[in-house]
Structure 1
Amino acid sequence: MKNTETTFSISTSDVELIVDTTSGTPVVAHWGRKLAGSTSHSQISRLLAEATPHSDLDFPQNPGLWRERARGFFGASSLVGRRGRLDWAPLFSLRTVASSHNVLTFVSADDNAGLEVTVKFELTPEGVLLIDEKVTNTGSSDYAVDELTVWMPLPDRAVESMDFHGRWVKERQPQRLPINYGTFSREIRDGRSGHGYTIVQLAMTDKANNASGEVWSLGLVWSGNTKHSIDKQETGYKAIGAGELLEPGEIVLAPGASYSAPTVAATYSDAGFNGISDHLHRWVRARELHPTKLKPRPLTLNVWEAVYFDHRLGKLLELLDVAKEIGVERFVLDDGWFGARREDHAGLGDWVVSDEAWPDGLGPLVTAVHDAGLEFGLWFEGEMVQVDSDLYRAHPEWIMHIPGRMPLEARRQHVLDLTHEGAYQHVLGQVDAVLSEYGVDYIKWDHNRTLIDPGHEGIAAAHEQTLAIYRLFDELKRRHPGLEIESCSSGGGRVDLGMVQHADRFWGSDCNDALERQSIQRYTGFAIPPELIGAHVGPTHSHTTGRVHELSFRAITSLFGHAGLEWDLTETTPEERVHLASWAQYYKDKRDLLHSGKVVRVDHSEDSAFVHGVVAHDKSEALFAYVQLSTGNSTKPDSVLLTDLDPEATYEVKVVQPAGPAQCMQTAVPTIMTEPITASGAVLADIGIQPPILRPENAVLFEITKVS
């Protein structure tokens, strides 16, 4: 950390933040590439001094971090609030600066408004800038906070933005737009991050792509209501912002109280989108309890698409026998084991084993699973309740609602108000009892509807509900060391950088169609490392789209995540079981690479195909997939470039087909299909290899090993 008069900086080997306080407020003078050369930070602030145009303020003003109207800034302020009808336009003056290794903290205040604001910047060793903002009410009466948003300036050369939209079974689809005048916002009011959540929003230089160009991104470490924005003023000033989207009256500070906004993870890369992913993946993996630090990611079988609500022990034991033969390591019983839950109309809230479905309890199944050497997992949806349940009949007041009316139902269910202590203790107690009795190793925790009226005794409570689920997950893990929790929300409806701090896996989507999963997993992986994205081999005939895919395509798609199966394995042929066993072993052999290496998305010359892979950080090995999404425009496919290898090293490249052959349409095959090829990393990146002519919706794997 450097301190030059009123200018402060923190940096890693490739990222730097410079904050200037000359004007009496923190101003980000630079956020981006680590600067080289001998220019002092004070000289940089002089370089940034602007001219004053006609018909403007008499002297140039930089809005700084707080973007107050009193500084002549006419965009959105970072803090929006009021004390009754007063104190809605504060002007903050810097009071203190604290600095330590790669951490900067700035405290500012407006005594007249009775407000103090704090911003802390922490630059992690992985190059992720964590930004925390807090407002404290130093006045003598209540202060209502409507918004507290982190805004970071963008340089003039940032001219495009990208975020992700989506819906159920088609999450995280990219949309790329020019940065125009005005404010472009992505707002989520679901009460959860939602299927249309962007995870991160990006700004970039012209034509930035996977491997090149500068990219700046913000992502909220939060799972509730959110707002991501890109802003360009008439002056040309640009900024990117992220913050919690608060409901009216949700945060009211008593005298002396504070509101801490969700942490924002800010990331910069001068190596395109892959660089952003690399920073975020390494940051997530550095967590003390990241699951790969404890054990390899077990190959999982979820039985939902095999049996649905038909919980017959004999059928499940047949599935277990086939799963063991294939090499499955975790067996997950999904919805339908509890209360009156024989269909999706009843039972949510009653987390006790059903005597009707399981007259002898879950013990016989759990014992058989553990005796087979597999872990046992169980489905819950503890944040929901149905009218047809013992819980609702006893405590109808425990649902989130507005007094005097019932919320609209979705999936015939309501949201349980976990901010109510009785409701929280009910869920914690019942779930804890089941986990304790049966030795459950893993939870699939679902959240299948949006929050329509997220009120607690009439007061907006989405914020507190989000904190409650974090607290619940953490307490369950404290009581059951080694327990893993999967976050599922109608598939990928709660995948975010907040939940990644409390859960160990995300169900990427309810869609197991391998073609749809190619894009869903690709763009989820912009922020979430593959070992946290559940990716299953679904049935031959997709339950959500009706498509039919080769086993090889489904298996390769699943390989680049936390792999599993969701299929009635008792219906597989002997040949399919052989291929599945081969694929399962290959996954186990390669998961250390897949779940630790750098994710690489290649900028392929044809949009009819994806090329992506994982490269070991020491560049000793790699695994790439060539995926034919649709029919190409040419009769022969374009060369496949294998990038991010050591250009000076020599590699052997071979095709592997662990789950059977892909379907091709060719009379002669390229060399790579019959024998390995040896080439330097430079040749593989610049010339590449000739792939087979695949039928649409097929894929092949290239295994790459450094030989010298």
Structure 2
Amino acid sequence: METTCQRLSSASADLIIKTHPHAEILYWGPRLQHFSPEYIASLARPVANGRLDVDSPVTLMAELSHGLFGSPGIEGHRQGLDGSPRFTTTSAIRDGESLTLIAEDSVAGLTLESQLVMSAAGVLKVRHGLRNLKPGAWQLDRLAVTLPIAERAGEIMAFHGRWTREFQPHRVSLAHDSYVIENRRGRTSHEHFPALIAGTPGFNENQGDVWGVHLGWSGNHRLRAEVKTDGRRYLQAEALWLPGEKTLEQGEMAWTPWLYASHSPRGLNGMSQQFHRFLRDEVIRFPQGARRPVHLNTWEGIYFRHDPDYILQMAEAAAQLGVERFIIDDGWFKGRNNDLAALGDWYLDEQKYPQGLTPLIARVNALGMGFGIWVEPEMINPDSDLFRAHPDWVLALPGYAQATGRHQYVLNLNIPAAFDYLVARLSWLLGDHAIEYVKWDMNRELVQPGHAGRAAADAQTRQFYRLLDTLRARFPAVEFESCASGGGRIDYEVLQRCHRFWASDNNDALERTTIQRGMSYFFPPEVMGAHIGHRRCHATFRQHSIAFRGLTALFGHMGLELDPVTAGAEEQAGYRHYSALYRQWRDLIHGGTQWRVDMPDRTTVAQGVVSDDQQQALFLVSQIAMPDYTLMAPLRVPGLDPLGRYRITLIDHPNIQLTGHGGHTMRKLPAWMEQPQVISGEWLQAAGLSLPILDPESAILIALTRE
């Protein structure tokens, strides 16, 4: 068959793929102004001595049978047979900027379907489907998406973390061998966010070629960056299956999760902006309206101490602070007085709520707020009526004692009766009450997950999706938050089914500065739950001013996590102020273009947002530790119109103190803080704006308005 190629394009990116006799990506990078298919002849590789006598392509499936000698994209067998497939393209189906390739290995009896879609935002989506054509089960051990990247990509950026400290970036050199991330915790995980970023060495927010990938999958996963001994590089991502999880009978098909990929020649900001635009265009939909309401969640205010009369006082105080949605957290269902019991018993605690939830909800609504509630449907406590009635509903392997985590087991959603029980109880909760928002928690990893004696982590994840899909179909006006102990289940696949992520259980503003910045590489602020907590942080016991807490929560979906009744007058005034500030600026924050700013002093963190018409901008500068230098570097403001002229306004600051006798930071403020200035966008980008010297753990907010 004649060699052909296909081109998938957006305004910013191009993908050139050779389709026959096998599928191989030849180019993935900035959009080409001039391209003709005959140009691909320039990439015909020589054959090195001392190796195979033929070229070894890195195909879409990265088969070992081509002589790849690296990590293959497929591994499996048919009782030891048909274990080294090699696929030949049989058809290429084009539909706009979407390409479906069908390939077959008639010897192994397998068909491969590869789907590639280039979005208008420049984000590439890729997935594979594998079908068994022959009698006899084909044991599928691995099925991965492989994307080649340029040889100049010599550095990797990835993310590590743990509970209350998620999305921590780190970098490694990519010169030889492989860098591998594996997650076996059964959910997306705090520890290993499923993403890799490769780039030219030293890439930063505004400079360098970068290739970023994210696997849209809420379970176990494996990501790899690999360098072949010939210098070629590729990124690979897959769902990680436990032994025996995937077996294809004749006619059956298995799909990889979607891999989302973005290339930017303009550093990390360009990559992030493409991902954000893609999510806003194609994924994020808010049934309650685009504006993200100010939340108040009761957890860190009352914990399990539920008294309807007192909760009404909290609601009344919250309304006075500008709260627009009131959420009661854990402790509302029967027997739930601590975290030792009652998960699974999704019936109202009538001792705590003798009049039911309806009067409370009605009062919250009368105060002008929507009502939300906390659930953790996937879990079951050993001390619960549900467990006593159905101990066999636990996700476990027979013959072993299942370990508890946070005093709970996982409910096996693969059991139809267990699944139907949850649908019935949650349908009662959402059908009989005016609930517009559900905070969906998931506080335990999967250990020996089993169903009918076989590993079932993959199946459990898919049943979770089905449960959410069922509820969303029944209650399309309800919004869902993916919580999972904070950042434990944050990815693009669950975002297809939810409307907000709880970024971390840690409300410490200092820690949140890093967590939220890390999350911003792949997610826009409108889906990032960011709350102002109590002065004394629940997670770290560290204390921060209301100004630092309020400004840190501003660049997300803001809320409060505290008891407003017991807050002092000064704290209440602060909550009211930052709630109002958020409502004033949220349209810009949630609709504009996000920018992170590289600062030469690593103790200074700067970020901002610029409106699409470049008429407005808002930038936050946070000082997270004692500065390295006695003067702060100027803020070079990206994203402005070079021809525009912008008025600079200090919107919020930590009551900066001047001193004439030493002992503090400054004797004189920057000139623009003392008298109004109008400056060109070109100058602000190239030369910048002088900053005041900030105390550690404080921040300032600056607005730029085009004249």
What TM bracket, shorter-length normalisation? over 0.9
Aligned partners of 1:127 and 1:267 also within 8 Å = yes
Task: Report the equivalent of 1:31.
Answer: 28
Task: Report the equivalent of 1:219.
Answer: 214
> Deviation digits for residues 571-613 of structure 1, max 9, x if unmatched?
2222332332222122112111100111100111210101100
Aligned partners of 1:443 and 1:486 also within 8 Å = yes
Partner SS state of residue 586, structure 1? helix
| Counterpart Cα distance in 2 of 1:288 and 1:670 | 43
Task: Report the equivalent of 1:426.
Answer: 421
Aligned partners of 2:283 and 2:495 also within 8 Å = no
Aligned partners of 1:484 and 1:504 also within 8 Å = yes
Aligned partners of 2:3 and 2:18 also within 8 Å = no
Aligned partners of 1:186 and 1:228 also within 8 Å = yes
Amino acid at match of 2:668: A
Aligned partners of 1:663 and 1:695 also within 8 Å = no
| Counterpart Cα distance in 1 of 2:194 and 2:44 | 35
- 1:180 CA drift (Å): 3.1
Task: Report the equivalent of 1:272.
Answer: 267
| Counterpart Cα distance in 2 of 1:638 and 1:336 | 49
Partner SS state of residue 81, structure 1? strand
Q: 2:254 aligns with which of 246, 259, 262?
A: 259
Task: Report the equivalent of 1:458.
Answer: 453
Partner SS state of residue 581, structure 2? helix
1:294 to 2:289 alignment:
yes
Aligned partners of 1:552 and 1:662 also within 8 Å = no
> Within 5 A, what are the aligned runs for 1:587-626?
587-626=582-621
| Counterpart Cα distance in 2 of 1:255 and 1:676 | 74
1:564 to 2:546 alignment:
no
Aligned partners of 1:662 and 1:700 also within 8 Å = no
Aligned partners of 1:653 and 1:703 also within 8 Å = yes
> Deviation digits for residues 12-58 of structure 1, max 9, x if unmatched?
11100001135x10110001111223x522222x2112222221111
1:236 to 2:231 alignment:
yes
Bigger mean CA deviation after superposition, 303-312 or 5-14? 5-14
Partner SS state of residue 620, structure 2? strand
| Counterpart Cα distance in 1 of 2:540 and 2:96 | 52
Aligned partners of 2:287 and 2:477 also within 8 Å = no
Alpha-carbon RMSD: 1.5
> Within 5 A, what are the aligned runs for 1:15-54?
15-22=13-20, 24-37=21-34, 39-44=35-40, 46-54=41-49
- 1:478 CA drift (Å): 1.8
| Counterpart Cα distance in 1 of 2:675 and 2:245 | 64
> Within 5 A, what are the aligned runs for 1:489-528?
489-528=484-523
Partner SS state of residue 355, structure 1? coil
Amino acid at match of 2:624: L
Task: Report the equivalent of 2:123.
Answer: 128
Amino acid at match of 1:391: L
Partner SS state of residue 492, structure 2? coil
Question: Structure 1 residues 485 and 595 mapped into 2: Cα distance closer, same or farther (>3 Å)?
Answer: same
> Deviation digits for residues 116-167 of structure 1, max 9, x if unmatched?
1111111011111110100000011111111110001111111111110000
Task: Report the equivalent of 1:166.
Answer: 161
- 1:522 CA drift (Å): 0.5
| Counterpart Cα distance in 2 of 1:541 and 1:364 | 33
1:139 to 2:134 alignment:
yes
Partner SS state of residue 392, structure 2? helix
Task: Report the equivalent of 1:7.
Answer: 5
Amino acid at match of 1:624: F
Task: Report the equivalent of 1:281.
Answer: 276
Aligned partners of 1:292 and 1:595 also within 8 Å = no
> Within 5 A, what are the aligned runs for 1:98-109?
98-109=93-104
Question: Structure 1 residues 663 and 412 mapped into 2: Cα distance closer, same or farther (>3 Å)?
Answer: farther
| Counterpart Cα distance in 2 of 1:264 and 1:341 | 40
Bigger mean CA deviation after superposition, 385-394 or 198-207? 198-207
Q: 2:528 aligns with which of 526, 533, 546?
A: 533
> Deviation digits for residues 241-296 of structure 1, max 9, x if unmatched?
11100111111111001001111111111111111111111111113661288231
- Normalized against structure 1, the TM-score is what? 0.97
| Counterpart Cα distance in 2 of 1:480 and 1:466 | 21
Task: Report the equivalent of 1:642.
Answer: 637
Aligned partners of 2:341 and 2:381 also within 8 Å = yes
Partner SS state of residue 361, structure 2? helix
Bigger mean CA deviation after superposition, 450-459 or 473-482? 473-482
| Counterpart Cα distance in 2 of 1:160 and 1:377 | 44
Aligned partners of 2:287 and 2:476 also within 8 Å = no
Amino acid at match of 1:110: D
> Within 5 A, what are the aligned runs for 1:112-127?
112-127=107-122
| Counterpart Cα distance in 2 of 1:333 and 1:529 | 26
Task: Report the equivalent of 1:689.
Answer: 689
| Counterpart Cα distance in 2 of 1:434 and 1:663 | 52
Task: Report the equivalent of 1:472.
Answer: 467
Q: How many residues align?
A: 700
| Counterpart Cα distance in 2 of 1:264 and 1:123 | 12
Q: 2:655 aligns with which of 656, 661, 664?
A: 661
| Counterpart Cα distance in 1 of 2:478 and 2:674 | 45
Question: Structure 1 residues 408 and 175 mapped into 2: Cα distance closer, same or farther (>3 Å)?
Answer: same
Task: Report the equivalent of 2:661.
Answer: none
- 1:662 CA drift (Å): 5.5
- 1:420 CA drift (Å): 1.1
| Counterpart Cα distance in 2 of 1:134 and 1:15 | 25
1:383 to 2:378 alignment:
yes
Aligned partners of 2:657 and 2:666 also within 8 Å = no
**Displacement over 6 Å in runs of 4+:** none
Task: Report the equivalent of 1:554.
Answer: 549
| Counterpart Cα distance in 1 of 2:359 and 2:54 | 78
1:62 to 2:60 alignment:
no
| Counterpart Cα distance in 2 of 1:670 and 1:611 | 18
- 1:432 CA drift (Å): 1.2
- 1:64 CA drift (Å): 1.4
Aligned partners of 2:58 and 2:148 also within 8 Å = no
Aligned partners of 2:619 and 2:702 also within 8 Å = yes
> Deviation digits for residues 309-351 of structure 1, max 9, x if unmatched?
1111232122112111111000010001112110000000011
- 1:464 CA drift (Å): 1.6
Partner SS state of residue 570, structure 1? coil
Task: Report the equivalent of 1:702.
Answer: 702
| Counterpart Cα distance in 1 of 2:489 and 2:361 | 28
Amino acid at match of 2:36: S
Q: 1:364 aligns with which of 336, 359, 381?
A: 359
Aligned partners of 1:202 and 1:216 also within 8 Å = yes
- Normalized against structure 2, the TM-score is what? 0.97
| Counterpart Cα distance in 2 of 1:350 and 1:401 | 20
Bigger mean CA deviation after superposition, 618-627 or 50-59? 50-59
Bigger mean CA deviation after superposition, 347-356 or 193-202? 193-202
1:673 to 2:667 alignment:
no
Query: Structure 1: where are the runs of 5+ without partners?
Result: none
Aligned partners of 1:131 and 1:150 also within 8 Å = yes
Aligned partners of 1:662 and 1:699 also within 8 Å = no
Partner SS state of residue 571, structure 1? coil
Aligned partners of 1:284 and 1:290 also within 8 Å = no
| Counterpart Cα distance in 1 of 2:655 and 2:362 | 37
Aligned partners of 1:553 and 1:662 also within 8 Å = no
